[in-house]
A = this chain, B = another copy of it.
Amino acid sequence: MEEKENVIEEIKELLNNRKYHELKDILDNIEPADVAIVFEEFPDKSLPILFRILSKEHAAEVFVELDSDMQELLISGFSDYELKEVLEELYLDDTVDIIEEMPANVVKRILRHSAQDVRESINEILKYPKYSAGSMMTIELVDLKKDMTVEDAFMRIRRTGVDKETIYTCYVTDENRILLGLVSVKDLLLAEQNEIIGDIMEQNIIYVNTLDDQEYAAQTFEKYDLLALPVVDKENRLVGIITVDDAIDVLQEEATEDIEKMVAITPTDKPYMKTGVIETFKKRIPWLLLLMILSTLTSGIISMFEESLSVCVVLTAFIPLLMGTGGNSGGQSSATIIRSMSLGDVEMSDILKVIWKEIRVAFICGIVLAVANFAKMMILDSANIVANGYSPALIAAVVSLSLLVTVVFAKLIGCVLPMLAKKIGFDPAVMASPLITTIVDAISLMVFFNIAVMILKI
């Protein structure tokens, strides 16, 4: 942290004194991701100067790390020549990522200044739906033929590998680009020079289809500990590869998305600090409104029992306790199930096992909570209850019994709803805490008032 402040101070001073050579030395020795962080501290007008100071290759790496607003700003200031120079240094999948965030006129300009073959490849990848494996792949890979020797393979890697994002897994294809096998550079290094690729290649290949979901592709990396994953089309032709750094980004995005849905926010790709007030508002208000309207249900239930409540006002004091504990119990179950489904630990076929487990956990939790609550009410609330003309033990029994029933209902709903949502094709994360809490609120009130009416005969 402090180091970062010092570096920024130093850069500011060098920039003000136009000591560009020293500035270049400093910036070229900072990792691209960190240069991007440093750039954020400077006003927009300094950006083009700072960027032009960077050495050519470093500049392209930094460009990829900048956020899309800064990228757009820089592109609009680039001469055609400069734009071309940066584009030439970029990996194809990074270019596609950048294009996806740019307005149409900038996209056109980028495509116009890309080499013909690059332009065709970009258009190829842009064809795939957002969030598909095809949209996150790069087509830059090292491909080999079955009858090559290890020596041939190394020659090919040396000749073509400079521009490829990863060379450590090479893919063996036939004349129709059908994927036949793969061979890692480690295998190549440990093999004899005259061995034939077809003999040493791994034919058990893990791959995804272009239209597979990006989350599925990312989870495949996690499951099989991969560095790269081939992407094939419907005819099993190799069209590209996904690299592990992009898989990590997708896994992180998906976890963030789950969390956002779990607290009733419409997911966004943008980091918090980059999202405007109005945009943040728009992501949050629909769910708040919907949930508020749903809570009309609970108001209705309370109104229904208004007479009983006015007879025994002391019951009102325990509504928040019941609703709160119910909501928390249901929230625990739903979040656990949602995350377990995301990680692939729980599948639809497990539903009966899940329900049976949650019921048992709920009973134990419910009994402990009921006993604790009974004791607490007898100690802390009995004076107030007596003052209202009721027996403390009776009121405590009503509340504790309601608590037990509520917890069981809450945990059951908390585990069943996300799984049902998935069954009918919705995202389970939508069935998270806030929605479940609202449903559990209504149920807990019905349970509470009915038990109260029965036992207290009000």
Contacts and interface: CB of A to CB of B under 8 A. Distances in A.
A320 B441 contact: yes
Main secondary structure of the interface of A (DSSP, over half): helix
A416 to B, nearest CB: 15
B162 A185 contact: no
Protomer copies: 2
Contact of A313 (B186, B309, B345, B380): B309
A428 to B, nearest CB: 13
Contacts of A229: none
Contacts of A115: none
Interface string A331-354: 110111101100101100010011
Q: Which of the listed residues A258, A320, A327, A345 has the most CB atoms from chain B within 10 Å of its own CB? A: A320
Interface string A150-180: 0000100110011000011000000000000
A249 interface: yes
A42 interface: no
Nearest to A244: B244
A427 interface: no
A445 B189 CA distance: 71
Contacts of A204: 29, 31
Given A259-B258, A335-B265, A346-B273, A299 B281 contact: no
A204 B380 CA distance: 64
Given A272-B346, A320-B441, A445-B320, A259 B339 contact: yes
Q: Which of the listed residues A323, A369, A441 has the most CB atoms from chain B within 10 Å of its own CB? A: A323
A248 B272 contact: no
A285 B221 CA distance: 35
A454 interface: no
Top 8 nearest A-B pairs (CB, nearest first) are A255-B255, A225-B245, A298-B320, A263-B335, A271-B345, A272-B340, A302-B317, A299-B317
30 contacts: A29-B204, A161-B190, A167-B186, A167-B189, A222-B252, A244-B244, A244-B248, A260-B336, A262-B263, A265-B335, A271-B340, A271-B345, A273-B340, A273-B350, A273-B353, A284-B332, A284-B361, A284-B365, A285-B365, A288-B325, A288-B332, A292-B321, A292-B324, A292-B325, A295-B321, A298-B321, A302-B317, A310-B310, A310-B313, A320-B445
